[in-house]
Structure 1
């Protein structure tokens, strides 16, 4: 072999060795960066796992709270429905009592006015002229009773009945 070919072969081998060393260094740096990225990725995955576990615990707590709220709301709704039904019954009973009291009051008023109307009206006595004695006044005519007065009387009677019922209940409870 000639010395020129031998030098060219040596130069070619040297260039290839330099290229191989440069690529090895570049690959080494890339591997180092990948390992650093792998460590960061592992840390991120660990943080994500912790956050996921925390979120699962929070969701379980929320489900428990939601169940308790649902049960409490259901109980309150049932209580409200029972109270509403009871109140409706009491209002209906109260209206019935007021209606009966109104009928009683209405019947009692004309019967109180009836004896006065049934009593004979005496003709006015003759008064001698010039004596100055006034003539006896005619009996007052019964005045008409207004609906407002009837309702007021019915309300008063209902109040009295409720007070008596309350006192009976209190006496019975004691």
Structure 2
């Protein structure tokens, strides 16, 4: 019986050793897979770092471009505002010239037929109005024509 008990214990130890060896093989496979995943994860992290650096450089370039465009746009807006003011002045001068020319044309028109819309002006008054309109006309250098 003691011999049978020793064989039973030794058989139990052998079975447990076999189970331990099987479990160790299973753990070894899992560890190999984990190592492979670790290498793939390191490669992925390296790619992400590279992509992040490229994106940071691109963002820096975009910021520089935005700054340049903003400066350029600001100067163009200032130039456009200046040109708009110049156009306003020229339009006002053109309007003034047109009014003076129309006064001259009205004053120089012969009064052959009475026009109900145009009040009748005596010839002396017409000549005076024409002379005044003519004297108001100025050249660009400021001298009277």
Give the TM-score, by structure 1 length: 0.64
Provide structure 1 residue ranges, at least 5 long, that are not aligned to the other structure.
Answer: 114-141, 148-160, 169-174
Moved over 2 A (4+): none
Larger radius of gyration between Structure 1 and Structure 2 = 1
Provide structure 2 residue ranges, at least 5 long, that are not aligned to the other structure.
Answer: 118-136
Aligned to 2:36: 36
SS in 1 for 2:31: helix
SS in 2 for 1:103: helix
How far does the alpha carbon of each residue in 1:119-166 deviate from its partner, in whole angstroms, 9 at most, with x for none?
Answer: xxxxxxxxxxxxxxxxxxxxxxx2457x9xxxxxxxxxxxxx9xx96x
Equivalent runs, 1:5-154 vs 2, <5 Å:
5-109=5-109, 112-113=110-111, 142-143=112-113
Q: How many residues align?
A: 121
Aligned to 2:4: 4
SS in 2 for 1:24: helix
| RMSD between superposed Cα atoms in Å | 2.3
How far does the alpha carbon of each residue in 1:26-66 deviate from its partner, in whole angstroms, 9 at most, with x for none?
Answer: 11111111110000000000000000000000011011111
Q: Distance in 2 between matches of 1:144 and 1:20?
A: 130
Give the TM-score, by structure 2 length: 0.76
Greater RCO, 1 or 2 (C-alpha within 8 Å, sep 6+):
1
How far does the alpha carbon of each residue in 1:70-122 deviate from its partner, in whole angstroms, 9 at most, with x for none?
Answer: 1111111111111011001100110011101111221222xx54xxxxxxxxx
